[in-house]
Every structure is written in structure tokens, then in C-alpha cells.
Amino acid sequence: MKRKTPQSAQRVARLGASAAAALALAWAAAAWAHGDVTPQAVDTSSLPVLGDDWRGENPFRANEAAVKVGTSAYNQNCARCHGLEAISGGIAPDLRKLDNDCAALKDAAKKAACVKENDEYFLTTVRHGRSRNGAVYMPPFEGVFKQEAMWAIKAYLETRRDKPL
């Protein structure tokens, strides 16, 4: 049986320390890869002011200026979880499918009711976030974004809709 010399023990210790340092560096890189999770400001100065009363439906639907603001706001604040161009990588819901049930409806009254319900669901989720058993799945953005920013993001998402089958 071979005996360890003090030099081989030192070499093993150095290798272990190097491996631990490499592992810590890889872990830190993975944590930083998530990006800056501090909400980024959304410039809504090009949009009409909606006031303090929260709207129940998206007032910016098909508004080109809102889509432009919403595209930027989404990319800076939502894409890190929901995916670039709203294409989810599976971590968070695929927001292109948010309105699919409504888009497929033929009856105009049912479609309008569905759109309103989806708008309310979207706004409630963005304002208050989603958590379960103490785990935060979506942070709340009320007090961070004005409703103009939230509705602009929704206007953008409506342009990214994944066409239902």
C-alpha cells in the first residue's frame, strides 16, 4: 500500500480547493445569468394617462404606440421569466396562449366576455403577483408600474398570440 507523502497531501488539498473554487464560481455565474431582476422603469409618456381608477379592460388594444411601449417593457421586465418574444422556455407560462380560448370563439358576445375576463385575470396577476405555499411564482408589480405600463404589455402580448388550433 502506498503511503501519502506530505507533498501529495498538499497536492490533493490544492486540487480540492481549486475544485471548490471552480464550483463556487460556476454557481455564482449561474445566479448572475438570471440577469438584473430589479424592475426597469417603463416610459409611458407617449400614452394617454388612464388615471387612478383601474380599468377592467385593456384600453390600449391594437394601439401602435402602446404596443411599442409594451414591447420594450416586456423585454426589460418579463422576458427573463416568460421568454424572449413571449416564447416561454417552460419556466413560466407561455403568454402567447393567454387569449387563445377567446380568439377561437365565434359568438361575439361570448368572445367579448372572454376577452374581458382574460384582461381582468392578466391585470390581477400583474398587480398582485402569484404565490403558493409561501413561494412567489410571479412578483407583484402594483406600485412599481402604472396601469399604462401594464396595459401596454398586454397590448404587446396580444400581437404575439399563438394562434389556436
Radius of gyration of the chain (CA): 23
| Total-model pTM | 0.75
Residue 165: the pLDDT is 47
Residue 107: the pLDDT is 96
pLDDT tens digits, one per residue of 24-64: 555 444 444 444 568 888 999 999 999 999 999 999 999 99
pLDDT tens digits, one per residue of 83-136: 998 888 888 888 988 888 888 899 999 999 999 999 999 999 999 999 999 988
pLDDT tens digits, one per residue of 136-146: 889 999 999 99
Cell 403558493 sits on residue: 132
Residue 2: the pLDDT is 60
